[in-house]
Amino acid sequence: MKRREFIRAGAFGTAAAGLASPAIAQDVRQWSMVTAWPKNLPGPGVAAQTLADRITTLSGGRIEVTLHAAGEIVPGRGVFDAVSEGTAHLYHAVPAYWGSKSKGILLFGSQPFGLRADEQVGWMVHGGGQALYDEMYGRFGIKPFLCGNSGPQWFGWFRDEINSVDDLKGVKYRTTGLASEMCAEIGMAVQAMSGPAMFQALQSGALDAGEFIGPWTDSALGYHQIAKNYYWPGIGEPSSAEECGVNLAAYEELPDDLKLVVSTACSSLYNDVWTEYETKHALALQKLVADEGVMPKKLPDDVVMAMGDAAKTVIDGLRSDADELVGRIAESFVAYRDSIGAYMVHADNGQMNARAMVLGY
């Protein structure tokens, strides 16, 4: 797919008039899904359509979900409000976009030096995260579900090399969520914008660097045409959960079997989406290096350590937030991170390190 196909459906558009109330005829509900993505953007755009189709199929056609890409009904960053207000029935996006609603929301999507994709869903299902997720989004009349994950993101595309923390001061950089606060702490000039807008900003010089997702999605948007230095690890987002938000009144109106359809469609998609990202990121990176001259580069250790100090400041701020719910969310996250992290030294981390020692046999 060409980058221009996604720009035409860019993540910021003109809001249209509100949708009609849900039509329920012969037990068929016609639901509208709004998304934060251009239609069929590799990764999140594809996942959004898959979720819409899965709900329709699993419900036996009793819920017919029609997808509207970013800008078709509301701008990409307007989907949360559209569902909250009842303009649309559900959305597909990421929690990292809703920090203006509450900083506590940001922890449900990604955290600097935080949870991997499997750990994120572990916290939600087994560590008390879902109850907090429901409580926070309930304030806005939304029932939230995780429905995918990009896996580890990258630190991003840079025209110039990074050799020290000083090289990052004043750099105009696109990122989102808590990563933006971490980067601002060390002096980066952080800007929030859509993926297609990031390409245009890099091209014009309005940005010096930026990150979006990873090799598969990023290559479709063409960032490698402008910047060749591709930095890892993406410490700002060790994983990034995708979410489905459903209008709470519409969800509560459903009979129990259709509530289960919606929740099952979301949870069943998580591994499918995550593993597709990981598989296709790996293949896309090979092509970017071989065919496009992209140079993957590791962040210097002193940059990682400085980012770690900045991340601590950000998380400590959430733990002491004046909103007691934000504090409870942060404490729950930290407790789960520390518990699972201590175990992973012996388990997954140990296996990965051992495999790296003998890779190539």
pLDDT of residue 22 exceeding 50: no
Q: What distances in angstroms separate CA 22 from CA 164, 267, 323, 342, one per listed residue?
A: 55, 24, 34, 48
- Helix ranges restricted to H, the chain: 3-7, 44-58, 79-85, 103-106, 117-126, 129-138, 177-185, 195-204, 215-221, 248-253, 256-292, 301-319, 324-344, 348-358
Segment 163-178, tens digit of pLDDT: 999 999 999 999 999 9
- Strand 189-191 and strand 142-149: pairing? unpaired
What is the reported pTM? 0.91
Only one residue has tokens 């997720």, namely 133
Q: What pLDDT sits at residue 21?
A: 45
Q: What is the DSSP letter of 215?
A: H
Q: What pLDDT sits at residue 359?
A: 77
pLDDT band at 152 (very low <50, low <70, confident <90, very high): very high
Q: What pLDDT sits at residue 25?
A: 53
Please, what are the domains in the chain? 3-149+241-279 (3.40.190.170), 156-237+294-358 (3.40.190.10)
Q: How far apart are CA 346 and CA 176, in angstroms?
A: 32
Q: Which residues contact 95 (CB under 8 A, 6 or more apart)?
A: 105, 106, 107, 108, 109, 110, 177, 241, 243
pLDDT band at 319 (very low <50, low <70, confident <90, very high): very high
Lowest mean pLDDT among 1-15, 169-183, 219-233, 334-348: 1-15
pLDDT band at 27 (very low <50, low <70, confident <90, very high): confident
∠243-245-248 over CA atoms, to 5°? 155
| Contact yes or no for 208/160 (Cβ under 8 A) | yes
pLDDT of residue 13 exceeding 70: no
Q: What pLDDT sits at residue 10?
A: 40
pLDDT of residue 192 exceeding 80: yes
Instruction: Tell me, rounded to whole angstroms, the distance of Cα 256 from its chain centroid.
Output: 29
Lowest mean pLDDT among 95-99, 119-123, 173-177, 349-353: 349-353
Q: What pLDDT sits at residue 130?
A: 98
pLDDT of residue 202 exceeding 60: yes
Q: Percent of the chain beyond pLDDT 90? A: 92
